[in-house]
Amino acid sequence: MSRPLILILCTGNSCRSHLAEAILRRALGGRADVASAGSKPAGYVHPMALEVLQEIGLDASAHHSKHLNEFLDKPVTTVITVCGNADQVCPVFPGQLNRYHWGFSDPAHATGTPEEIRAEFRRVREQIRLVFEAYAAGLQEVALSG
């Protein structure tokens, strides 16, 4: 039996969805496949997102920006949107059982000095980390009690 696929969606698939993908993948420890995509992919992963993931021991250098259409023929079990625009345009995927929306600020829009921008990426990373690690812990609890 294949592992469930959790797809994290954002508009640009350059920051928030990649932060969430890397954090959730580690938190689940291989119990599910985790991917991210966007409704209007930026075509790159923001370097600052990669940097702040590296700070917590996550290497996302192999991540790339993808369109959500790449997943329309895949058995997506759970869709999680991390921005309002993606939530509004999110299609239903084959096999989809669950859908969640947890919105986060887009750190790519941060302004100021490089350190102020980095601080915003860290702040959003920590918000995403809190939510997605709690989600993973809840999935573990359900699996152990089921």
Residue 31: CB atoms within 10 Å: 14
pLDDT, residue 95, reads: 73
CATH tag, 5-145: 3.40.50.2300
- Mean pLDDT (the chain) is 90
**83 catalytic per annotation:** yes
Residue 44 CA to its chain's centroid (Å): 15
> Do the bridges between strand 76-81 and strand 98-101 make them parallel or antiparallel, or are there none, so unpaired?
parallel
Q: At what angle are helices 16-28 and 47-55 packed, to 10 degrees? A: 30
At 94-142, the pLDDT tens digits run 677 888 999 999 999 999 999 999 999 999 999 999 999 999 998 765 5
Distance CA 101, CA 44 (A): 23
What's the pTM value of the predicted model, to 2 decimals? 0.91
**15 catalytic per annotation:** no
**90 catalytic per annotation:** yes
Question: Could you state, in order of their start, the residue ranges of all structural domains in the chain?
Answer: 5-145
Beta bridge partners of residue 57, listed in sequence order: none
Distance CA 81, CA 89 (A): 10
Out of 5, 9, 10, 24, pick the active-site residue: 10
Task: Say which range, 56-65, 78-87, 107-116, has the weakest mean pLDDT.
Answer: 78-87
